[in-house]
Chains A and B, each alone.
Chain A
Amino acid sequence: DTAVSQTPKYLVTQMGNDKSIKCEQNLGHDTMYWYKQDSKKFLKIMFSYNNKELIINETVPNRFSPKSPDKAHLNLHINSLELGDSAVYFCASSQEASGYEQYFGPGTRLTVT
């Protein structure tokens, strides 16, 4: 019973393509997040949704578009992929938007060639 799941686990694609990563949580949490971990293992938040509403939007290129169809799902669509987008993308969730720990998914390793 995976709490936070992501698909796919690995994604290899060429520059210029468009790709999506899906995230689902079965914890009943209200808030979900996307983080990016670069090649040096540095983790940085990208977006956060609370009850399907965008609440955090860090300085991320507008080629990245999150979408939350319901509280349990948060997808990340990336247009016109660039080499610098290569990273591991983690989805996370928390019970509410503040004051609760975040639970992370297994990550999606995106490689852009």
Chain B
Amino acid sequence: AQSVTQPDIHITVSEGASLELRCNYSYGATPYLFWYVQSPGQGLQLLLKYFSGDTLVQGIKGFEAEFKRSQSSFNLRKPSVHWSDAAEYFCAVGARTGFQKLVFGTGTRLLVSP
């Protein structure tokens, strides 16, 4: 069974600074990988996904993530954070075989300071 670890519970970044949120997964092969964002009181919005091909994937709102097989990681990055990026970020994995259920990490809360 797959699992996901997001080691940072909270991260505070100054507005305009760069951001990297960590995600490590455990799975017997290359899984499907996702990043979702949840603003307070809102549902989850898909930021980006990795299925195959180029290991650097671009998403919405200026986010990107890089799949590194050797490190079992799928870290989320943004070169310049905006105050509106403050939210909870979830990494998720899905198995490539069988019916797909997403297994989520515990989330990282991003705080943006002025």
Contact = CB atoms under 8 A, between A and B. Distances in A.
Interface of A: 4, 33, 35, 40-45, 48, 50, 55-56, 58, 90, 92, 94, 97-107
Given A101-B46, A104-B43, A44 B104 contact: yes
Interface in B62-114: 88, 90, 94-104, 106-107
A98 B100 contact: yes
A20 B66 CA distance: 40
30 contacts: A4-B43, A35-B102, A41-B88, A42-B104, A42-B106, A43-B44, A43-B90, A43-B102, A43-B104, A44-B104, A45-B101, A45-B103, A58-B101, A90-B44, A92-B44, A98-B95, A98-B97, A98-B100, A99-B51, A99-B100, A100-B100, A101-B34, A101-B46, A102-B46, A102-B102, A103-B46, A104-B44, A105-B43, A106-B42, A107-B43
